[in-house]
A and B are shown apart, each in its own frame.
Chain A
Amino acid sequence: MAKSHKPVVWFPFAAGGTVIAFFIPVIVLLTFMAALGHVPAGLSYEKMHAFAGSGLGKLIIFGVVALSLWSSAHRLRCTFYDFGVRADTLVATILYIAAIAASLLSAAYLLQI
C-alpha cells in the first residue's frame, strides 16, 4: 500500500479541531471580559506568570496554542482553495511554516517564563 504523509497533517488537525471546540470559546470569553474592562482575577500578571511558570501550565498552553494554530492553518488552506486560490502547494507551504514558526515562538516565550 502506498504510504501517505496525510496522517501527519490530519492528526494534529483533528486534535486541534477538538481542542478549539472545547477550549477556544471560553478562552475568547476570558480575553473578551478583559477587553470590556473586567479583567478576570486569573489574568493578572502574578496568576498568569505562575500558571505559565509551572511545567503543567507550559504543557497545557503549548498544547492548546500549537494544536489550534495547526488546525487553523490546515483549515485556512482549505478555505483558500474553496475561494478559488488554486496554488495549493504554495498556500499550504506558507501556512504550515507559519503555524510551525508561531508554535516554536510560543515554546521559546514559555521557556523564558
Chain B
Amino acid sequence: MSRNPLVRPVPPTSWFFRHPRYLRYMSREITCIFIGAYCVLLVVGLQRLAAGPVAWESFLLGLRSADSIVFHILALAAAVYHAATWFNATHKAMPVQIGEDFVPPNVISGAHYVVWVVLSVAVLFLAGVF
C-alpha cells in the first residue's frame, strides 16, 4: 500500500486542450448551448402563436434580423453535429445481436441516418416546403 498515492493535478478549466479527443468531446458538449437556446426560441414562438395572428407575424418578422440569421446558422450546425455524433454512437449504445453475431456497427448507424433523412423530408413536405 502506498502511503503517498500519486494524484495528478487536473486543471479544471483547461483539461480539454490536452488531447484532441477531449477537444472533440467538448466541441460536441457545447452544441447543447445552441440547442438549449433554440428550445427557448421555440417556447417564445409558442407564446407568440397563442397570442394571435399579429403577434405571430411579428415573431416571423423578428426572425429576419441579422442576429437571428447568425444564430440560426450556428444552431443548424450544432443540431446537425449533435445528430451525426448521436447516430454514430448508436451502435455502441445499443448493439444488436442476431444469433451468434453482432449486426455490423455501420448498419445500425446507417439505418439511423436513413430514418433521419426520411423524417426530415417528411417534415419539410408537411411544412409545405415542396
Residues of A within 8 A of B (CB): 17-18, 20-37, 39-43, 45, 47-49, 52, 61, 64-65, 68-69, 71-73, 75-76, 78-79, 82-84, 86, 102, 105-106, 109-110, 112-113
Contact = CB atoms under 8 A, between A and B. Distances in A.
A34 B63 contact: yes
A21 B39 contact: no
Interface residues of B, number: 50
A44 to B, nearest CB: 8
A112 to B, nearest CB: 4
Q: Which of A35, A71, A112 has the most CB of B within 10 A?
A: A35
Contacts of A47: 128
Interface in B45-68: 45-47, 49-50, 53, 56-57, 60, 63-64, 68
A40 B46 contact: no
Interface of B: 12-13, 16, 26, 29-30, 32-33, 35-36, 38-43, 45-47, 49-50, 53, 56-57, 60, 63-64, 68-69, 72-73, 75-76, 79-80, 82-83, 86-87, 112, 115-116, 119-120, 123-124, 126-129
Contacts of B129: 30, 33, 40-42
B43 A76 contact: no
B60 A34 contact: yes
Contacts, number: 150
Contact of A72 (B36, B63, B68): B36
Contacts of B36: 69, 72-73, 75-76
Given A17-B86, A72-B35, A31 B72 contact: yes
Given A29-B124, A34-B60, A22 B39 contact: no
Nearest to B76: A28
B114 to A, nearest CB: 12
A82 B120 contact: no
A24 B72 CA distance: 12
Nearest to B31: A75
Contacts of A23: 119, 123
Contacts of A18: 86
Contacts of B124: 26, 29-30, 40
